[in-house]
Amino acid sequence: MMITILLILAAIAGAFWLFNNLLINQDNIVLYWAGNNYEITTAKFLAVVLVTFLAFYLLLRLIKHLFSLRKYTRLYRERKVEKRTQNGLLQGLISLIEGNWNSAKTQLLADAEQSKMAVLHYLGAARAAHMQEAFEERDQYLKRANEISGGNTEVAIAISQAEMQLYAGQLEQARAGLVTLLETHPKHRYAKKLLAKSYYKQEDWKNLSSMLPEMQKQDILNKKEWMAYETASLRGIFQMYASEDNLSRLKAEWKKLPAATRNRPTTILFYSKALLAAGDNTTANKLMVTTLNKQWDDKLAEWYGLSSHDNINQAIRQAEKWLPEHDKSPVFLLSLARLYRKNQLWGKARHFFEASLNLAPNAQGYLEFAELLEETGEKINAQLCYKTGLNYCIHKKGQPLTLHSRREASRVGTPLSEASMVEPPISDYVVETIVTPLPSDTSSPEPINDPAKPVDLIEPSNART
């Protein structure tokens, strides 16, 4: 910039000096040519020199352009082709966004080989073929895109391919491609996120669990995604060791967990289920009692009533200690009713089943209560309970469960046994009955934009006695 300014100043100074001398010196210039003298003023001489110089310069430029005519023709054609390919790319991407897959492929592939952005043409065509479920065609376009780029867009192509394979359910192919990509680019955040998603969909809980600590440090997953993946991996690992009867490995896995994770009720619930499935009822029930004494959780309280107990009387005594503080909890009342039923305390079980179901309807609760009423000979009440439960399952709307007296209900069917006629001391177990037509219990939300849901294989019926 400074040199340019200096040159401009020098030119101005030179011009000023020249015109100043022309005004001072008005003498003519004499030229001798072919024996003749030619006299011309200084100003005219300079004008002739300037015009001659300009004419010579223009002549040289014309000659240069004539010799470059072929080059200009080629550049013109290239610009024309480039404009056409750009229009084709633009129209193809618009068609792709609009969902016109055939039009998108036609427009993107028409001049793909002549385009300077051929990679984008083939990536767009691959996406269109993928949406048509033409997976072999999709892979051919991706391969061609990689060949044209010379490996410069390897990461972009690998990520695109993995995304489409995950969407199409080609989990093994997506996983293999992402593992290979992370070997050469170990810090790629989005590749790690996609690989975690593939592990989740494949229910590969060990590999998913091993990735979570590093992903949490790098803040790759949001809190909701991280919690969903951690919950699923823990549940899957616990189930795996429980199904293998590997109790020692199950307990070792529990001890490796951070304290914050071990104190979470959801984690304790999964671990307790696994312990029960592996046959360790004592440890499971002790852990549930300890947790419920510190922090109440309805799902854990529900499982306490469903699980097997080595000493059912002790389990009932413990549950009765919680009753004064949780006598309005339909989940706990149902759990307590199940414990009484296991111990064949029919009257108490009947009372708490009815109280729980009138607080909040529950399909499983209706079924168990109806079975209890059949066992105790109350056929009419059993039919009424079945009907109410069926109505709730169909219409998802609760209604009051008004039972007949035992004497009226036992007129049809087998008479009540002597044990079944024993009524509970209601004064000791007063529970306010509130009819609330609530919907069924909602389960915890699954991860967004992710259809995979790990199946909880540890159900109450599988727990060992």
- As a whole-number percent, the residues of the chain with pLDDT over 90 amount to 53
pLDDT in tens, 313-333: 999 999 999 999 999 999 999
Looking at the predicted structure, is the pLDDT value of residue 434 above 70?
no
Report yes or no: 315 and 286 within 8 Å, Cβ to Cβ.
no
Question: Which of 220, 120, 133, 118 has its CA nearest to residue 160?
Answer: 120
Return the structure tokens found at 125: 């065509």
pLDDT at 11: 76
Could you give the C-alpha distances from 31 to 26, 42, 197, in angstroms and in order? Answer: 16, 11, 92
Residue 205: band (very low, low, confident or very high) from pLDDT cuts 50, 70, 90: very high
Residue 367: band (very low, low, confident or very high) from pLDDT cuts 50, 70, 90: very high
pLDDT in tens, 375-397: 998 999 999 999 999 999 999 88
Question: Which of 291, 301, 367 has its CA nearest to residue 328?
Answer: 301
- Owner of token pair 């607080």: 359
Sign of CA dihedral 11, 12, 15, 21: negative
Looking at the predicted structure, is the pLDDT value of residue 448 above 70?
no
pLDDT in tens, 117-154: 889 999 999 999 999 999 999 999 999 998 888 767 88
Which residues are registered as beta bridge partners of 32? 37
Report yes or no: 344 and 417 within 8 Å, Cβ to Cβ.
no
pLDDT in tens, 159-175: 999 999 999 999 999 99
* Phi, then psi, of 40 in degrees rounded to 5: -145, 145
Encoded amino acid at 206, one letter: K
pLDDT in tens, 339-351: 999 999 999 999 9
CATH tag, 215-460: 1.25.40.10
Q: Which residues of 98-128 are buried (b: 16+ CB within 10 A; e: fewer)?
A: eeebebbbbbbbbbbeebeebbbbbbbbbbb
Domain ranges of the chain: 16-67, 215-460
pLDDT in tens, 68-123: 778 777 777 878 888 888 898 999 999 999 999 999 999 999 888 888 888 999 99
H-helix segments, 99-204: 101-109, 118-131, 135-149, 154-167, 171-184, 189-202
pLDDT in tens, 276-318: 999 899 999 999 999 999 999 999 999 999 998 989 999 999 9
Question: Which of 299, 378, 321, 369 has its CA nearest to residue 341?
Answer: 369
